[in-house]
């Protein structure tokens, strides 16, 4: 069983839709949860960073962490064509430890 599971998609939505991306994990020691966006042939860029359980909102993006269910989500409101990318979840046990990545979900937002 992989430590982090993420549906690779692809996911295709119309412009303006609400997008829900999810990851599950098995390592209960994970405390730091991140979402990265990766455009084609580019390196990942950090979107959201959350410690422990709860919600975090930044503009059109909301990250949720449910440690009891070992489940994290990223919601994108009013999705735009420029949001088309691969979204990777990542987790770590401590703030300085290695990241474990999900496989990434490929998202296409159609105008």
Partner 1 sequence: GAVVSQHPSRVICKSGTSVKIECRSLDFQATTMFWYRQFPKKSLMLMATSNEGSKATYEQGVEKDKFLINHASLTLSTLTVTSAHPEDSSFYICSARQGIGGELFFGEGSRLTVL
Q: Is 99 in the site for partner 1 (CB under 8 A)?
A: yes
The CA distances from residue 53 to 2, 68, 102, in Å, are 21, 9, 18
Q: Which of 85, 88, 107, 109 binds partner 1 (CB under 8 A)?
A: 88
CA distance 57 to 91: 18
First-to-last C-alpha distance (Å) of the chain: 37
Q: Which of 1, 14, 95, 111 binds partner 1 (CB under 8 A)?
A: 95
User: Are the C-beta atoms of residues 8 and 60 closer than 8 Å to each other?
Assistant: no
Going 37 to 27 to 67 to 1, the CA torsion angle's sign is: positive
Q: Is 8 in the site for partner 1 (CB under 8 A)?
A: yes
Q: Which of 30, 104, 107, 109 binds partner 1 (CB under 8 A)?
A: 104
Q: Is 29 in the site for partner 1 (CB under 8 A)?
A: no
Q: Is 61 in the site for partner 1 (CB under 8 A)?
A: no
Span near partner 1 by CB under 8 A; candidates 34-42, 52-60, 62-70, 73-81: 34-42
User: Are the C-beta atoms of residues 81 and 109 closer than 8 Å to each other?
Assistant: yes
Interface with partner 1 by CB under 8 A: which residues? 6, 8, 36, 41-46, 49, 88, 94-96, 98-99, 101-104, 106
């Amino acid at each position: 069983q992989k430590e982090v599971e993420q549906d690779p998609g692809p996911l295709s939505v119309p412009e303006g839709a609400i997008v829900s991306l999810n990851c599950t994990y098995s390592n209960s020691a994970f405390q730091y949860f991140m979402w990265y966006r990766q455009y084609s042939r580019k390196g990942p860029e950090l979107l959201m960073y959350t410690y422990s359980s709860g919600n975090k909102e930044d503009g059109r993006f909301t990250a949720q962490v449910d440690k009891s269910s070992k489940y994290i989500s990223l919601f994108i409101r009013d999705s735009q064509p420029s949001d088309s990318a691969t979204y990777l979840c990542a987790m770590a046990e401590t703030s300085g430890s290695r990241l474990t990545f999900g496989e990434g979900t490929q998202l296409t937002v159609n105008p």
